[in-house]
């Protein structure tokens, strides 16, 4: 990998990175607040770089000490995938002095040392821009039936961070067969509180009890809002309704409406493509990710 300094990139700072992110945007995993949380927990693990043109910042990025676009601290529920770097789209084809297997398709043809497709099997599932009238009608009908039979859709903003943590861990435990204790609730609650301004979505209730919740983050910039559905849980004892699908429908609908209100592009990730999770194909398109090759 070629040295950054030889390619016009200067050693930079968190503050300049924030400036570039505000201007050019990014995804959730490389949002300045996420990086701050990671650095607070494991300081001095990443280095920043920026590029200037005519005295203006035209892009910035960061890497770990091995040159990879990632933060080595792993103990928070954020995954570095579909990385959109805060770099001007007008900046032509050039070599990016960094490594990754998770770069967004938005940078295709922008970086000479990244490839998409055959050499990188990784793909991200991005929710479709729209669904057919038939699909929307069926999903709305299912939602109406749920609401008429003891179901509720409650905004995540109605709950404290500790409540969201407890709901998430209980329902994800039911879904995945995992166990948790009080310290797990406290630890996750502290993280949720630290990233509270980025928390998005709803909690589904059935007959007065939480039955579905996904931990979703949102990252907003000048041109788009990026929603990242990290993971979630459901009450697996409920057989009358597909509460996971109902929740996803509610969250996608709300996210789309928010983007329309603000006249911003809608980007909603439901995570990595995997044949084990075939349901994702009903909601999303599989988009190839970029991998550095030299």
Phi-psi domain of 278 (left: phi exceeds 0; alpha: psi -120 through 50; beta: other): alpha
Residue 97: what pLDDT?
95
Residue 157: what pLDDT?
98
Residue 167: what pLDDT?
98
Residue 294: what pLDDT?
84
Q: In this prediction, what percent of the chain has a pLDDT beyond 90?
A: 90
Pick the closest to residue 238 from 251, 247, 229, 227 (CA basis).
Answer: 247
For the ranges 64-78, 105-119, 144-158, 197-211, the lowest mean pLDDT is seen at: 105-119
Say if residue 6's pLDDT is above 80.
no
Q: In angstroms, rounded to a whole number, what is the distance separating the alpha carbons of residues 245 and 256?
A: 16
State the pLDDT confidence band at 104, using cuts at 50, 70 and 90. very high
What one-character DSSP code corresponds to residue 68? B
Domain edges within the chain: 4-122, 126-272
Side-chain-facing half-sphere of 127: CA atoms under 13 Å: 19
Cβ neighbours of residue 193 closer than 8 Å, sequence gap 6 or more: 161
The mean pLDDT value for 70-86 works out to 97
What Å distances lie between residue 66 and 62, 138, 216, CA to CA? 11, 49, 29
The structure tokens listed for 199 are 């928390």
Angle between helices 32-41 and 14-24 (to 10 degrees): 150
User: Other CB atoms closer than 10 Å to residue 1's CB: what's the count?
Assistant: 15
The structure tokens listed for 38 are 């990671």
Cβ neighbours of residue 138 closer than 8 Å, sequence gap 6 or more: none
Residue 96: what pLDDT?
95
The mean pLDDT value for 126-137 works out to 95
- Average pLDDT of every residue of the chain: 95
Q: In angstroms, rounded to a whole number, what is the distance separating the alpha carbons of residues 165 and 159?
A: 10
State the pLDDT confidence band at 183, using cuts at 50, 70 and 90. very high
Angle at 254 between CA 226 and CA 289, to 5 degrees: 30
State the pLDDT confidence band at 92, using cuts at 50, 70 and 90. confident
Residue 91: what pLDDT?
87
Residue 25: what pLDDT?
97
Q: In angstroms, rounded to a whole number, what is the distance separating the alpha carbons of residues 25 and 176?
A: 34
State the pLDDT confidence band at 3, using cuts at 50, 70 and 90. low
> pTM value?
0.95
Residue 5: what pLDDT?
54
CATH class of 126-272: alpha beta
Residue 1: what pLDDT?
55
Q: In angstroms, rounded to a whole number, what is the distance separating the alpha carbons of residues 158 and 243?
A: 20
């Amino acid at each position: 990998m070629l040295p950054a300094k030889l390619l016009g990139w200067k050693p930079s700072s968190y503050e300049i990175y924030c400036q570039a992110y505000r201007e050019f945007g990014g995804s959730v995993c490389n949002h300045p607040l996420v990086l701050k949380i990671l650095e607070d927990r494991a300081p001095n693990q990443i280095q920043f770089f920026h590029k200037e043109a005519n005295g203006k910042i035209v892009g910035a990025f960061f890497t770990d000490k091995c040159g990879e676009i990632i933060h080595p601290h792993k103990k928070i529920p954020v995954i570095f995938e579909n990385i959109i770097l805060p770099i001007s789209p007008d900046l032509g084809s050039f070599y990016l002095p960094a490594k990754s297997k998770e770069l967004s398709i938005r940078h295709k043809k922008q970086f000479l040392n990244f490839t998409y497709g055959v050499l990188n099997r990784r793909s991200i599932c991005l929710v479709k821009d729209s669904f057919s009238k038939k699909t929307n009608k069926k999903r709305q009908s299912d939602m109406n039936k749920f609401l008429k039979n003891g179901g509720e859709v409650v905004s995540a903003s109605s709950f404290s961070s500790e409540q969201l943590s407890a709901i998430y861990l209980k329902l994800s435990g039911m879904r995945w067969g995992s166990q948790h204790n009080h310290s797990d609730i406290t630890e996750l609650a502290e993280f949720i509180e630290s990233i509270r301004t980025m928390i998005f979505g709803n909690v589904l209730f059935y007959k007065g009890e939480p039955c579905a919740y996904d931990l979703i983050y949102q990252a907003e910039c000048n041109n788009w809002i990026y929603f990242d559905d990290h993971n979630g849980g459901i009450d697996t004892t409920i057989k009358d309704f597909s509460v996971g699908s109902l929740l996803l429908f509610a969250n996608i609908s709300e996210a789309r409406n928010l983007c329309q209100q603000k006249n911003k592009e809608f980007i909603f990730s439901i995570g990595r493509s995997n044949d084990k999770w075939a349901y994702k194909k009903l909601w999303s398109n599989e988009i190839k990710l970029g991998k550095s090759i030299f």
